Amino acid sequence: MSIKLDGKKLSLEIEEKLNNYIFNNKKIAKRTPGLAVIRIGEDPASGVYVKNKERACSRVGIRSIIFHLKDNVEQKEVEQLINKLNLDNDIDGMLLQLPIPKKFDDQKLISFINPSKDVDGLNEKNIGKLVKNEPAMRSCTPAGIVNLLKSQKITIEGKKIVVIGRSLLVGKPLSLMLLNLNGTVTMTHSKTLNLNKVCKEADILIAAAGKPNLIDSSFVKEGAVIIDVGIHRIESSDKNKTRLCGDVLLEDVIPKVFAYTPVPGGVGPMTVTMLLVNTIFSWQKQFGLSSTLNDLLP
Ligand code: NAD
């Protein structure tokens, strides 16, 4: 029987630790941690993600403030807001909810965020520290995946790991984190030749291509671990309904693998949890609090 890597369950366990940590330290800090979320425009999926983040913050005791800007604001105005939040001592973390409308330069905006408040871990300073294997904010989805693997004591060191996708959000930082943990990492992408053959070598295969059901059992080695990062809403067999799926054709792959992540309930919940961890990490550093949560940051 293959093991389900249950991100929902692990995220609830970590949230309980975070809740206790805030409760035990807020007297010293004299305030709870604060997270600012900047959303621009009306992308409906972004609305759902921001709401989820807001709810998760309130579950553990983080104060969240949402700045929902109209898409007719100017790049300069967003930069000014970021600068104001950089200087706000009650804000420990800040993120720009992506995607934002095309007229904005999202990378420039992210580079305006003070690296110590960059809870998405996407600022070039934090990415640079990841490359150097130095402690820093880590991007949330990759850090969540590492914690999921660790939670089931799945060894990374020495394992052949294939990551499908090379985005700044997932594939690249994840490959670096796994490399820092002594995995033998192959990063693949849309121009990779013989993807099937490359994947079949993997002890741990991670699919972050953003293509529904791209990976079937023919890509997977017997006994491998498979992590599905993709999340897609597709039509269900009942025509009027939709359902969620990932990049992996799970029903085909599960009988062959040692462990797998479900969609939903695998990587997704861990992403939000790592955002909370990063926010608390910044709060901890600002007030010199005990560092009992540091092992959650790969
Ligand atoms: P992206 O589109 O920025 O990057 C996709 C990457 O996959 C690219 O590097 C591309 O070269 C590669 N790729 C595309 N088609 C491929 C193919 N046929 N074969 C091999 N490589 C291919 O996407 P992203 O932001 O990295 O996200 C990837 C997926 O993960 C999406 O489905 C996204 O919704 C999901 N996601 C989920 C979470 C979560 O919390 N669960 C977080 C972030 C992203």
Q: Atom of ligand 1 at shortest distance to CA of 247?
A: 32
CA–centroid distance, residue 262 to ligand 1 (Å): 17
| 2-30 tens-digit pLDDT | 999 999 999 999 999 999 999 999 999 99
pLDDT-based confidence at residue 294 (cuts at 50, 70, 90): confident
Ligand 1 pocket residue status of 133, Cβ below 6 Å: no
63-69 sheet: strands from edge to edge: 63-69, 34-40, 93-96
> What pLDDT, on a 0 to 100 scale, did the predictor assign at position 161?
99
Q: Determine the atom of ligand 1 nearest the C-alpha atom of 229.
A: 30
How do residues 182-235 score in pLDDT, each as one tens digit? 999 999 999 999 999 999 999 999 999 999 999 999 999 999 999 999 999 999
Q: For the chain, what percent of residues have pLDDT higher than 90?
A: 96
Q: From atom 31 of ligand 1, which residue's Cα is the shortest distance away?
A: 210
What the chain holds in terms of domains, given with CATH numbers, is: 30-115 (3.40.50.10860), 140-268 (3.40.50.720)
pLDDT digits 0-9 by tens, 74-119: 999 999 999 999 999 999 999 999 999 999 999 999 999 999 999 9
CA–centroid distance, residue 167 to ligand 1 (Å): 7
Which residues, 6 or more positions from 2, have their beta carbon under 8 angstroms from its beta carbon?
254, 255, 257, 258, 259, 260
Task: Report the atom number in ligand 1 closest to the C-alpha of 263.
Answer: 41
Q: How many residues does the chain have?
A: 298
- Percentage of the chain beyond pLDDT 70 is 100
244 lines ligand 1 (CB under 6 A): no
Q: What does each C-alpha distance from 131 to 2, 122, 176 come to in angstroms?
A: 33, 12, 7
